[in-house]
Amino acid sequence: MAVTYFENQKTFKLDTPNTSYIMGIQDQAGYLLHYYYGKKLNQPDVSHLARTWEPPYTPERNDRDKLSFLDAAPFEYPTGGIGDFREHCLEIRTEGGHNAVELSYRSHSIRRGKQSLPGLPATFGTEADCESLSIILSDELLGLEVELLYTAFTHLDVITRSVKVTNLGTKENVIFLTKVLSACLDMDNQDYSMLSLHGAWARERRMQYRKLGIGRQGVFSERGETSHQDHPFIALTSPNVTQTGGEVYGFHFVYSGNFEAQTGVDQFGVTRTVMGINPYNFCWKLRSGEAFQAPEVVMVYSGEGLGHMTRTYHDLYRNHLIRSAWKDRKRPILINNWEGTYFDFNTEKLLAIARGAAELGIEMLVMDDGWFGNRFDDNRALGDWFVNEQKLPGGLKYLADEINRLGMKFGIWMEPEMVSPDSDLYRAHPDWAIQVPGRRAGLCRNQYVLDLTRPEILEYVWERICAILKSAHIEYVKWDMNRQLADLGSFALESDRQGELYHRYVLAVYELQERLHREFPEILLENCSGGGARFDPGMLYYSPQIWCSDDTDAIERLAIQEGTALIYPLSTIGAHVSDCPNHTVGRITPFETRGHVALAGTFGYELDITRLSQQDRDMIPRQVELYHRYNDLVREGDYYRIASYRENHEFDCWQVVSKDRKQALVTFVQVLGRANYHSRVLRLQGLDPDACYRIQGTDRIFGGDTLMYAGLSMENMWGDFRSGLISLVRVAKNN
Give catalytic residues, as residue numbers: 480, 550
Stretch that binds ligand GLA, among 1-9, 184-192, 280-288, 525-533 (CB under 6 A): 525-533
Q: Does 368 bind ligand GLA (CB under 6 A)?
A: yes
| Dihedral pair phi/psi, residue 673, rounded to 5° | -75, 155
Rounded CA separation 255/507 (Å): 10
CB of 145 vs ligand GLA, minimal distance in Å = 43
- Closest distance to ligand GLA from the beta carbon of 460 (Å): 22
Residues 316 to 345 in contact with ligand GLA, rule: CB under 6 A: 338
What is the closest distance, in whole angstroms, from the C-beta atom of residue 396 to ligand GLA in the complex?
17
Q: How far is the CB of 475 from ligand GLA (least distance, A)?
A: 18
Radius of gyration of the chain (CA): 27
Residue from 230, 247, 369, 451 that binds ligand GLA (CB under 6 A)?
A: 369
Q: Distances in Å between the alpha carbon of 126 and those of 13, 131, 161, 294, 508? A: 20, 9, 17, 22, 27
Closest by alpha carbon to 263, among 208, 185, 331? Answer: 185
Q: 525-537: string of b/e by CB count within 10 Å (b at 16+)? A: bbbbbbbbbbbbb
H helix runs in 384-474, sequence order: 395-405, 424-428, 455-470
284 or 410, CB closer to ligand GLA?
410
Q: Residue 679 and residue 517: Cα distance in Å, rounded?
A: 49
Determine the residue with CB nearest ligand GLA.
Answer: 369
| Spatial separation of the C-alpha atoms in residues 506 and 635, rounded to whole Å | 29
DSSP state of 679: P
Question: Is residue 371 at the binding interface for ligand GLA, with CB under 6 A as the rule?
Answer: no
What one-character-per-residue DSSP string does 44-61 give? ---GGGG-TTSSSPPTTT
Please tell me the distance from the alpha carbon of residue 202 to that of residue 235, in angstroms, as a whole number.
Answer: 23
> Which is nearer to ligand GLA, 271 or 482 (by Cβ)?
482
CA 547 → CA 176, 532, 568, distances in Å? 37, 6, 12
HSE-up (13 A, CA, CB side) for residue 502:
25
The H or E element containing residue 38 is strand 32-39
Least spacing, CB of residue 366 vs ligand GLA, in Å: 9
To the nearest whole angstrom, how small is the minimum distance from the Cβ of residue 354 to ligand GLA? 18
By C-beta, is 131 or 550 nearer to ligand GLA?
550
Nearer to ligand GLA, 284 or 603 (CB): 603
Looking at 122, 130, 286, 528, which residue binds ligand GLA (CB under 6 A)? 528
Q: Which is nearer to ligand GLA, 52 or 482 (CB)?
A: 482
Pick out residues in 433-492 that bind ligand GLA (CB under 6 A). 480, 482
Stretch that binds ligand GLA, among 184-192, 528-536, 557-565, 620-628 (CB under 6 A): 528-536
Binding mask 544-583 for ligand GLA (x = CB under 6 A): ---x--x---------------------------------
Residue type, 582: N
The pattern of x and - marking residues 378 through 397 that bind ligand GLA according to CB under 6 A reads x-------------------
Binding of residue 510 to ligand GLA (CB under 6 A): no
Question: Least distance to ligand GLA from the beta carbon of 568, Å?
Answer: 17
Nearer to ligand GLA, 24 or 531 (CB): 531
* Residue 11 in contact with ligand GLA, rule: CB under 6 A: no
Helices (H), 566-610: 591-598
Q: Which stretch binds ligand GLA (CB under 6 A): 96-104, 527-535, 538-546, 620-628?
A: 527-535
Residue closer to ligand GLA (CB basis): 76 or 369: 369
* Residues in binding contact with ligand GLA, number by CB under 6 A: 12
Contact between 573 and 545 under an 8 Å Cβ cutoff? The reply is: yes
Alpha helices in 9-99 (DSSP H): 66-70
Which DSSP state fits 570?
G
Q: Which is nearer to ligand GLA, 56 or 538 (CB)?
A: 538
Is residue 103 within 8 A of residue 64, CB to CB? The reply is no
543 binds ligand GLA (CB under 6 A): no
Q: Which residues from 399-428 bind ligand GLA, rule CB under 6 A?
A: 413
User: DSSP secondary-structure letter at 407?
Assistant: T
Binding site for ligand GLA (CB under 6 A): 338, 368-369, 378, 413, 480, 482, 528, 530-531, 547, 550
